[in-house]
Amino acid sequence: MNSWLIRVLLLMVFCCHDALSCPKRCTCHFSTKTTEVVCPDAGLSHFPGNGLPGNTTSLTIQFTNLSVLTSQDLKAIPLLEELHLPGNKLSSLLADLLKDVPNLHTIDLTDNELQELPSQVFHHAPLLNLVLKDNRISSIHPDWIPIDSNLTWLDLSGNHLTKFPMAQLQKLNHLKVLHLSQNKLEELPVGCLDAHPALERLHLEQNKIEKLDVKAFSHTANLTHIFLQKNRLEMVPPTVFQGLDRLEFVDLHENRLKFLSPGTLDINTSWVELTFNPWHCDDTIEYLWRKLTTESLQSEPKCASPENLKDRAVATLTLKEMGLPEEAKQD
């Protein structure tokens, strides 16, 4: 190898030293377009600034004792696009946290100790995906997201929300996926989803919702999946799913449903989960029985009452057992 080539290679090594360095307790993956850094060491208690490549595009700090994160920490990695921070000890976020990462589109803060979201906390980055799952959030400032937000994925599941954050979500008209499961929501306010015409997947499972407004989904015609399992629904308005032509799946299992009104499941999909409801198998169950026996719904709900029919699959009932005249077969 001639001396000129050696000098060029040495120059490249020195020039790129910072870009190819890697912090202790972390692993770095380099490619022509991305630099990914993963720091999974439980002993880590501070931001791993020393040795962090300046061209980092994805940073993961997971299951550590990290409790503080500042904008100054992130300033050293201005090309950052994804920030994953699951399983740490963060209890608060600074309002200017993201001011020096103008390319950040994804942030995951799953399983931290966050309690409140301050004003303008997500104003400085063009976020598309925001995950705040399994924290302690009970309140959100109305101005936490900018007016021109392009957020498409929001996960607030596993928090302490008691009311649907209607005012806080009004600006998210590009939202496609909304996770509000495992909170303490008792109702869906009238019009709470009207600002989300692009919504495709709605997760409301494991709350305390007792009823649905007949127009709950009237402005969300793009919905494909609705998850309402493990709530306290005693009835479903018969027209609540009308107009949802793209609907592929509805989950209503483990509620308090005893019957379904005619028309409730007159929808395009047969993928409806209905198990573990207290179905009362008399003449009021006829509509559900017909849907199960003639349209092959992908569910096997069982009777909870009366006692003589308990644990019988609804689809196996006879007209006589439901208290219906045999001639009803000809209807």
- Supply the DSSP string of 137-166, one letter for each residue: --EE-TTSS-TT----EEE--SS---S--H
Confidence of residue 284 (pLDDT cuts 50, 70, 90): very high
pTM of the prediction? Answer: 0.90
Q: State the average pLDDT over residues 286-302.
A: 91
Share of the chain above pLDDT 70, in %: 93
**pLDDT tens track for 92-112:** 999 999 999 999 999 999 999
One DSSP character per residue, 108-120 reads E-TTS---EE-TT
What pLDDT does residue 19 have? 59
pLDDT score for 26 = 95
Write the CB contacts of 23 (distance below 8 Å, at least 6 apart in sequence): 37, 39, 48, 49, 50, 51, 52
**One-letter amino acid identity for 47?**
F
Average pLDDT over residues 137-145: 93
pLDDT at 331 over 50: no
pLDDT at 73 over 50: yes
Q: What is the pLDDT of residue 310?
A: 97
Confidence grade of residue 21 (pLDDT, cut at 50, 70, 90): confident
Looking at residue 2, its pLDDT comes to 54
pLDDT at 297: 83
